[in-house]
Amino acid sequence: MNEQRQQIESTLHDIKSMMERSSRFISLSGWSGVAAGVCALVGAWFANREIQLFLHENYPANDLERGKYIFRHGSAALFNQLFLIAIIVLIAALISAFFFTFLRSKKTGTPLWGNTAKRLSINMAIPLIVGGLFIMQMLKLEYYVLIPPACLIFYGLALVNASKYTLGEVRYLGYGQLILGVINIWLPEYGLYFWAAGFGVLHIVYGLVMWYRYEK
């Protein structure tokens, strides 16, 4: 009787896992997260250098108050420069994330561009494209101070939305980005730090956890 029960339970478990496997993209590699996080931190370092350079040229060296309010006092030229850095970071992060996930999909023998990958991409892309348009217009209207929290919030929403189509842990990464983004709304002068914490540190932590759980 007990043996039969175990058998049925394992069948039900199989059914559930096959439903999951067929509807979620599971080749996402932890290293993709780590690589994206490293790209973001390198980008933040360059962004910080630009900001320091700008402050050095425009304000006396000891005027720390100004530095704090860089998002209010920075020039359009500075922010266009920062925007360029952000775009380069995005491209570098996407390429490296793609690379590690490609390696993993080779290893597990699943196709990179299947049914599940398509669904994941579409659901990730909707909040990201809308967010991208929103942020581009903010840049044009010079609402710089809200750009870092907007990046974090739209990205967080994209992750929460996409988590239904890939490894469930992505949802927690999304929550993390959303929390940072929301706090950042009320602490706007620390935008770059929040941005680095969300896109850099959280990605690296998430990536290492995922690697430890699934790939080690």
Partner 1 sequence: MANPIGNLNKVFESRIRLGIMSSLMVNAELSFNDLKQTLEVSDGNLATHLVNLEENGYIKVHKGFIGRKTNTTYSITKAGEKAFKEHVEALENMIKGMK
Residues at the contact surface with partner 1, assessed by CB under 8 A: 1, 4-5, 8-9, 11-12, 14-16, 18-19, 21-23, 109-111, 114-115
**Closer of 10 and 52 to partner 1 (Cβ):** 10
**Alpha helix ranges (H) inside 61-145:** 64-68, 70-73, 76-108, 115-141
Task: For residue 139, give every residue at least 6 positions away whose Cβ sits within 8 Å of its Cβ, in sequence order, or none.
Answer: 79, 80, 83, 147
**Closer of 5 and 140 to partner 1 (Cβ):** 5
Residue 121 CB, nearest distance to partner 1 (Å)?
Answer: 16
Residue 85 CB, nearest distance to partner 1 (Å)?
Answer: 39
Residue 170 CB, nearest distance to partner 1 (Å)?
Answer: 18
**Closer of 110 and 121 to partner 1 (Cβ):** 110
Residue 105 CB, nearest distance to partner 1 (Å)?
Answer: 10
Residue 15 CB, nearest distance to partner 1 (Å)?
Answer: 5
DSSP 57-82: HHS-TT-HHHHHTHHHH--HHHHHHH
Residue 179 CA neighbour count, 13 Å, CB half: 8
Residue 2 CB, nearest distance to partner 1 (Å)?
Answer: 8
Residue 66 near residue 55, CB atoms below 8 Å: yes
CA dihedral 205, 206, 212, 215 (to 10 degrees): -140
Residue 49 has a CB neighbour count (10 Å cut-off) of 11
**Closer of 19 and 136 to partner 1 (Cβ):** 19
d(CA 198, CA 42): 13
**Closer of 27 and 96 to partner 1 (Cβ):** 27
**Closer of 23 and 80 to partner 1 (Cβ):** 23
SS3 107: helix
Query: What does the longest C-alpha to C-alpha distance in the chain come to?
Result: 83
